[in-house]
């Protein structure tokens, strides 16, 4: 039986592994297919495809950041056109917002008596998109917290005193962008949604799939999300959310998504194009 991992981050966002290393890790995990889904960044796709050289199927993907009712929402996009110029221009704007966000977070951390030079964070993020996980890793390096998880819980999570919202895109806008570049929009890690935000909201916005298989979903949660997918006519996807050494509990291949779900993604995209 063939398996896939459709949620993987490279060092072009907040992962620690290069696309080339991730390809080798995936082959070692006996996967047939992966998707590169960096945060608001598509730079890791082409090098992963080159590194795979036909040994592994690599799908183009992205994880776009949106916000609803003050809650950060992630929308995965699969089989996207990563050469679409207006899309690339929008992503460039998002990267500029990310940089400004880091400066503001550092100002808030300074007020909390935890001085951090923004350049330390940018250096750690090279060559990719800078994000909160890079801030968390610097806080660990400086001894302000013991783990990246503690950094999120105490300081930089959505309710933390050093949190700064980023690019103000709605889930509907993220979904529309993904559809515009020929992709399939999928709601990422739905277990993180607060009780006041429901799947129906995203269905109305045009979401086409739900990430039922996920490294932090229990079996009962996975079953629940599969039932939701069936109820609303959504595709099912899944992945580890691998970030390399930055998230040791989510190693590549920890989630084995049956390849039949990849085939269904492709079938839907073909119907959309025809």
> Which pTM does this prediction carry?
0.87
- Given this model, what pLDDT does residue 129 score? 81
Residue 162 lies in a domain: no
- What tokens appear for 9 in the block? 């981050």
pLDDT (average), residues 58-84:
95
- What tokens appear for 188 in the block? 């990422």
- What tokens appear for 274 in the block? 């025809």
pLDDT (average), residues 241-260:
84
Please indicate, yes or no, whether residues 23 and 47 belong to a single structural domain of this protein: yes
CATH number where 127 lies: 1.10.150
Residue 236 lies in a domain: yes
For 98-120, how does the pLDDT look when each residue is reduced to its tens digit (9 = 90+)?
A: 899 999 999 999 999 999 999 99
Domain boundary (156, 179, 210) is at: 156
Please indicate, yes or no, whether residues 17 and 128 belong to a single structural domain of this protein: no
- What tokens appear for 133 in the block? 């996980």
What is the radius of gyration, based on Cα positions, of the chain?
A: 18
Please indicate, yes or no, whether residues 71 and 189 belong to a single structural domain of this protein: yes
For 215-226, how does the pLDDT look when each residue is reduced to its tens digit (9 = 90+)?
A: 889 999 999 999
- Given this model, what pLDDT does residue 80 score? 98
Which pLDDT band, with edges at 50, 70 and 90, does 249 fall under? low
CATH number where 194 lies: 3.20.20.140
Please indicate, yes or no, whether residues 250 and 176 belong to a single structural domain of this protein: yes
- Pairing status of strand 57-68 against strand 71-78: antiparallel
Please indicate, yes or no, whether residues 115 and 76 belong to a single structural domain of this protein: no
Residue 267 lies in a domain: yes
Residue 238 to residue 229: CA distance in whole angstroms: 12
pLDDT (average), residues 138-166:
94
Please indicate, yes or no, whether residues 73 and 99 belong to a single structural domain of this protein: no
Please indicate, yes or no, whether residues 250 and 146 belong to a single structural domain of this protein: no
Please indicate, yes or no, whether residues 177 and 261 belong to a single structural domain of this protein: yes
For 1-21, how does the pLDDT look when each residue is reduced to its tens digit (9 = 90+)?
A: 899 999 999 999 888 899 999
Residue 161 lies in a domain: no
Which pLDDT band, with edges at 50, 70 and 90, does 247 fall under? low
Domain boundary (125, 156, 187) is at: 156
Number of domains in the chain: 2
- Contact between 151 and 135 (Cβ < 8 Å): yes
- Given this model, what pLDDT does residue 198 score? 87
Q: What percent of the chain has pLDDT over 90?
A: 80
Residue 74 lies in a domain: yes
Q: What residues pair up with 34 in beta bridges, in sequence order?
A: 5, 58
Residue 207 lies in a domain: yes
Residue 104 lies in a domain: yes
Residue 101's domain comprises 91-156
Please indicate, yes or no, whether residues 198 and 73 belong to a single structural domain of this protein: yes
According to DSSP H, which parts of the chain are helical? Answer: 19-28, 45-52, 85-111, 118-125, 132-141, 148-151, 171-180, 199-205, 219-232, 260-273
Residue 165 lies in a domain: no
- Given this model, what pLDDT does residue 158 score? 85
Coil, strand, or helix at residue 187? strand
Domain boundary (132, 156, 180) is at: 156
274: pLDDT strictly greater than 80: no
- Given this model, what pLDDT does residue 245 score? 79
Please indicate, yes or no, whether residues 45 and 97 belong to a single structural domain of this protein: no
Q: What is the mean pLDDT of the chain?
A: 94
Work out the number of other CB atoms within 10 angstroms of the CB of residue 107.
Answer: 13
Please indicate, yes or no, whether residues 99 and 77 belong to a single structural domain of this protein: no
Please indicate, yes or no, whether residues 69 and 12 belong to a single structural domain of this protein: yes
């Amino acid at each position: 039986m063939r398996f896939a991992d459709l949620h993987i981050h490279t060092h072009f966002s907040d992962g620690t592994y290069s696309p080339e290393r991730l390809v080798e890790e995936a082959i070692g995990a006996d996967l047939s297919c992966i998707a590169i889904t960096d945060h608001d960044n598509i730079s890791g796709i082409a090098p992963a495809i080159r590194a795979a050289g036909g040994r592994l199927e690599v799908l183009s993907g992205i994880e776009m950041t949106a916000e609803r009712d003050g809650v950060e929402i992630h929308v995965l996009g699969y089989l996207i056109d990563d050469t679409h110029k207006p899309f690339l221009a929008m992503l460039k704007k998002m990267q500029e917002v990310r940089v400004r966000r880091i400066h503001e977070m550092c100002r808030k951390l300074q007020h909390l008596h935890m001085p951090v030079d923004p350049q330390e964070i940018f250096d750690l993020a090279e060559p990719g998109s800078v994000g909160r996980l890079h801030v968390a890793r610097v806080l660990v390096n400086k001894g302000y917290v013991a783990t990246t998880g503690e950094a999120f819980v105490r300081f930089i999570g959505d309710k933390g005193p050093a949190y700064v919202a980023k690019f103000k895109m709605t889930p509907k806008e993220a979904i529309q962008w993904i559809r515009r570049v020929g992709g399939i929009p999928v709601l990422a890690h739905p277990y993180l949604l607060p009780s006041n935000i429901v799947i129906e909201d995203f269905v109305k916005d045009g979401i086409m799939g739900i990430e039922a298989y996920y490294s932090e979903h229990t079996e009962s949660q996975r079953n629940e999300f599969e039932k939701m997918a069936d109820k609303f006519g959504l595709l099912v996807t899944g992945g580890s959310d691998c970030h390399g050494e930055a998230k040791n509990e989510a190693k590549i291949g920890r989630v084995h998504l049956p390849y039949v779900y990849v085939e269904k993604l492709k079938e839907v995209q073909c119907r959309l194009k025809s």
